[in-house]
Structures are given as C-alpha cells and as structure tokens.
Structure 1
C-alpha cells in the first residue's frame, strides 16, 4: 500500500510519542497535533478553544491562503486534535468544567486516541484503515474447513 509522506511522518511521530510517553492530550506541544508539528504549539491559534473544529480568523486566513503545516491544512489539524481528544474520553471543547479521563497516562486511553487519529489520517489520504484488523478475523466455512476470506 502506498501512502503519502505526510501520513508516514505523522504516524511515525505519533508512534514515537506514544512509546516515549510524550503523548499528552492536554498539552498543546505534546498532544497529537503538537507531536505531528514537531512539538510546537503555533497550531493552537487556529481556533479559540482546544478541541474545537471551528477555525477562527487566523485559522481561516491560513486555510484560505492554502498554507499547510507538515502537509496538513489548519482545518485538518483541528479535526485530528478533536478526534484524538474525543477518543481519549474528553468532552469538547477542552475546559475545566467538561468531562475528562481520570488517568491521562493510561496507555489504553492514549491507544484509543492514537488509533482514532491513525484511522482519520487514513481517511484524509483516502487509503484503507491500517488499524482495522477485522480482515484478519473474517472466515468463511466451506466443506468442514475454515478458510480465511
């Protein structure tokens, strides 16, 4: 399967952050998008709230000028971050009143977020979801033998 450079780089950075314990949902530099953008937080100025999908003036200007960050449009970056936070169990947008997971360092919580982001990255690049393992468990029964589909 052929993938884009932006996809390869994003997955590599997220994988490294996950295994190095530097994938931190509430930190703008170490969340999903922060890691994709080399641990910078300039992307946070594209919306008024962390986890929002609504571009603000700065985000719209960058989007309309066709600006890309590590290959992603500002709207795509907001979508990636919102997907990550939601899958981790946050109520969006992020603020002190909304629901959040009790243990942010829990690898299961972070893996759910990581899996959701990788699925979204696949969707953005129009490739099959590499996280979908259901094909491995698809079987067809023929003549008393079980054969993989």
Structure 2
C-alpha cells in the first residue's frame, strides 16, 4: 500500500512515543499532535481551547495562508487532537472541570486513542486503515480469502 510521507512519519512518531511512554493526552508536547509536531507545543496557539475544532484568529490566518505543519493544516491538527482526546475518554474541550479518565497514561486507553488517530490519519490521506486486520479473517468456501504474508 502506498502511503504519504506525512502519514508514515506521523505513525512512526506516535509508535515511538507510545512504546517509550512519551504519550500523554494532558501535555501539549506529548499528546498526539505534540508528538507529530516533534514534541513542540506551538500548535496550541491555533485554537483557544485544547480539544476544540474551532480555529482562533491565529489558526485561521495560518489556514488561509495554506501553512502546513509536518504536512498537516491547522484544522487537520485540531481534528487529530480532538479525535485522540475523545478516544481517550475526555470530554471536550479539555478543561479541569470536564470529564477525564482516572489514569490518563493507561496503555489500553492510549492504544484506543492511537487506533482512532491512525484511522483518521489514513482517511485524511485516502488510504485504507493500516490497523484494520479484518481482511485477514474474511473467508470463502471455508478457506481464507487472502494470504497472510509475514516478513
């Protein structure tokens, strides 16, 4: 499957962050977007609320100028972060008074968040979800429809 450079780089960064325990939904440098943007938090100035899909003035200017950050537009970055937070059981926008998980860095919780983010990233690039293994279990006449190729 042919994927874009931005997709491959984003997945690689999220994979590394997850396995190095450097993924934290409550930290702008270690959340999904923070990791995609090389552990910077400058993206937080694109919106007034963490987890919001609404660009603020700065975000709208960057969007209108066609700026991209590691391949993603400001509105795409906000979508990625909102997807991650929602899948990690946060009530949006992120605020200390809103609902949040008991343990924000629970591996199962983070895995669920990453699964939804990867699904979104793939749809943004119009490619099949790289985490979808359902084809492996399709069958025809009691035989697997597709071969499992291991490398």
- TM-score, normalised on structure 1? 0.95
Local SS of the residue matching 1:135: helix
Equivalent-residue separation in structure 1 for 2:90 and 2:2 (angstroms): 33
Q: CA RMSD in A?
A: 0.7
Q: Deviations over 1:112-133 (max 9, x none)?
A: 0011100000000000011111
Shift of 1:106: 1.0
Stretches of structure 1 lacking an aligned partner (at least 5 in a row): none
TM-fit CA distance, 1:139: 2.1
1:137 is aligned to 2:133? no
Listed as ranges, the gaps of 5+ residues in structure 2 are 146-151
Q: Find 2:144's aligned residue among 121, 141, 148.
A: 148
CA distance, structure 2, for counterparts of residue 136 and residue 89 of structure 1: 29
Superposed structure 1 runs of 4+ greater than 4 Å apart: none
Query: Which residues of 2 match residues 59-70 of structure 1 at below 5 A?
Result: 59-70=59-70
The structural deviation recorded for 1:135 is 1.1
Task: Say whether the 8 Å CA contact 2:52–2:92 is kept in structure 1.
Answer: yes
Q: Aligned runs of 1:64-103 on 2, under 5 Å? A: 64-103=64-103
Query: Partners in 2 of 1:82 and 1:63 — Cα distance?
Result: 17
Tell me the residue number matched to 1:51.
51
Query: By how many angstroms is 1:88 displaced?
Result: 0.6
Q: When the two structures are superposed, what TM-score results if normalisation uses the length of structure 2?
A: 0.94
The corresponding residue for 1:113 is: 113
SS at match of 2:126: coil
1:148 deviates by 1.4
Matches within 5 A, 1:20-59: 20-59=20-59
